[in-house]
Amino acid sequence: MKRILTFIALATLAASCSDNKAQEKSLLDSITKAHEKVMVDDGMIMKNIMALKPYALAPATKDSATTYSKNLSNADDVMMDWMNKFNPDFAGKSHEETMAYLTSQKAQVLKVDSLINSAVSASNQYLTKIKTK
């Protein structure tokens, strides 16, 4: 009887561990997906910075173009900072610590995404407006 109970306890423990790993992997996968989207948007940052350069040299549009360009650069810097600090090595960490870290990282990458979307959208609107004049 003790053997059966020991086996059941070990099986339950193994199942909960694999479930924990599945939760961690799922959350990490969602962060990776958000990061991949951010990287695509980073291409738009660079494209818009280059498109703003001529307007940043013209006296009539210099201030606005420079502001939009700085906003784009700031968004890119925030993204690079997040990427450099992100560490998916969870060796020696409990499931709770890992989940807390991943949850905070997901929130951060979503903020980065929002910042980039805002800067790209605003610069797109400005570029559309300035090109139609």
Per-residue confidence of the chain (133 residues) as pLDDT tens digits? 555 545 454 445 455 556 888 888 899 999 999 999 988 888 999 999 999 999 999 898 999 999 999 999 999 999 999 999 999 888 899 999 999 999 999 999 999 999 999 999 999 999 999 888 6
Rounded Cα distance between 32 and 47, Å, is: 23
Chain segment 47-61, per-residue pLDDT in tens: 999 999 999 998 989
Q: Is the pTM of this model over 0.85?
A: no
Tell me the longest C-alpha to C-alpha distance in the chain.
Answer: 87
